Amino acid sequence: MLNAIWETEGLQTVGIVVLVFASIKLLHLLGLISFSEDSVEDELELSAVRHRPEGLEQLEAQTRFSRKELQILYRGFKNECPSGVVNEDTFKDIYSQFFPQGDASTYAHFLFNAFDTDHNGSVSFEDFVMGLSILLRGTVQEKLNWAFNLYDINKDGYITKEEMLDIMKAIYDMMGKCTYPVLKEETPRQHVEVFFQKMDKNKDGVVTIDEFIDCCQNDENIMRSMHLFENVL
């Protein structure tokens, strides 16, 4: 599926799709894609973890997951991450399994930083479900805000051409060699040149969040990609 998207819609759309698709793999590796019918406790079991998440009611109010979904998400999260947090190396391990023929480490680094909202070097259960809630069930505006944060590597409120190129090169390194036809080395830069010029409406050399959202909302392919994984959970 990703190969077809790559060929027809270009790297800019693939960047959005991979953002969500990679998160689906994270759920799969945590054993959370197919919800089992096993009974779960009514409250989160916290005794064995170093990081203690917020109460269910608060997380239910802050996300678009139901109470039972949060319970099951936490059970899988705790099983795989007994400390209650995920570090960057875990993200890299997950995406290296997803893209074994490429180098996913740089993209995993960028994605980890986007999930690590308080920038403390770890992703807590709250960080995890808040991000997933946006990526899987958020509005288009929320998803694009999240994507902008991913591309805004230094978190200064703007996307530079270099930042966009860094993300696209990371995607190329992660999956470019697995595409058909094989992408040329200059492909990421070519796509970035075209798409950055399209986004940077006032030609000041940076893309603001308003420019980013406006451009994406007027791109039929990107809008279609926003809805690809809405019914995963």
Q: Is the link from the previous residue into 53 a cis peptide, with omega within 30 of 0? A: no
| pLDDT over 70 percentage in the chain | 70
| pLDDT over 90 percentage in the chain | 28
Q: Which residues sit opposite 160 in a β-bridge?
A: 206
- Continuous H helices in the chain: 2-29, 56-62, 67-80, 88-98, 105-115, 125-137, 140-151, 161-175, 187-199, 209-217, 220-225
Higher pLDDT residue, 39 or 139? 139
In this prediction, residue 97 has a pLDDT band, given cuts at 50, 70 and 90, of confident
Dump the DSSP string for 195-223. HHHHH-TT-SSEE-HHHHHHHHHT-HHHH
Higher pLDDT residue, 95 or 9? 95
Give the largest Cα separation in the chain, rounded.
57
- In the block, tokens 């994605």 appear at 111
Q: What's this model's pTM, rounded to 2 decimal places?
A: 0.76
What's residue 179's pLDDT? 56
* pLDDT at residue 198 is higher than 50: yes
pLDDT digits (tens, 9 = 90+) for 208-224: 999 999 998 998 878 87
Average pLDDT of the chain, as a whole number: 77
* pLDDT at residue 50 is higher than 60: no
Q: Are strands 123-124 and 159-160 parallel, antiparallel or unpaired?
A: unpaired
